[in-house]
Amino acid sequence: GFTGPLELEIGSGAGGHALEYCRRNPGVRFVAFEWRKKYARDTQMRAEKAGLKNLRVVESDARFVVPRIFAPGSLDVIHLQFPDPWWKRSHAKRAVVQPDFAKVMLGLLKPGGRFDMRTDVQDRAVAMLEILEAAAFHNPLGAGVFHPYDPEEVPSTRERRYLASGEPVYRARLVKSAP
């Protein structure tokens, strides 16, 4: 219902990041995808109770729906926070960051658009960063380099626990280069 930057969060979980981000950034149009019904519905209900007009939650698997509802070059930022690591080899195909979907996400971003990723699993962080950089995402700090914590960032519920305990979080802030 208004203009402003369009941002996507894939796998919003319990909604801690989405809700706080939208509260701090009321001019951003924010779409959060979550496949777990309970989390998706609870997050949308909490947004409505808080009067957040800039958040919409979609209860679906982002890998299949995102390419259908967003036009190429329409997104300013894509957030991916603590995706399921899918430990078993037979489940690896369920991971969000796969080579084909990385190319789809790159195509959905505007030139200069940002991909913000965070995880606590080092192996997955390294693998995701390699896939994203191979898909032509640009890492301003250099290939394979993770970004430091920025206190101005909005942490997810899970990330707040890691910040309190001092456990590592692997972050990447990648950009889509201008053509």
pTM recorded for the entire structure: 0.93
Predicted confidence band at 66 (pLDDT cuts at 50, 70, 90)?
A: very high
Span 150-172, pLDDT tens digits: 999 998 888 889 999 999 999 99
Is residue 123 part of the annotated active site? The answer reads no
Q: Which of 42, 61, 76, 84 is catalytic?
A: 84
**Does residue 90 have a pLDDT over 90?**
no
Q: Is the pLDDT of residue 91 over 90?
A: no
pLDDT digit string, tens, across residues 102-145: 999 999 999 999 999 999 999 999 999 999 999 999 999 999 99
- The percentage of the chain sitting over the pLDDT mark of 90, rounded to a whole number, equals 78
Reported confidence tier of residue 85, pLDDT bands at 50, 70, 90: low
Share the mean pLDDT of the chain. Answer: 92
Cα–Cα distance between 124 and 53 in angstroms, integer? 34
pLDDT at 1 exceeding the cut of 80: no
What pLDDT score does 2 carry? 82
43, 77 contact by CB (below 8 A): no
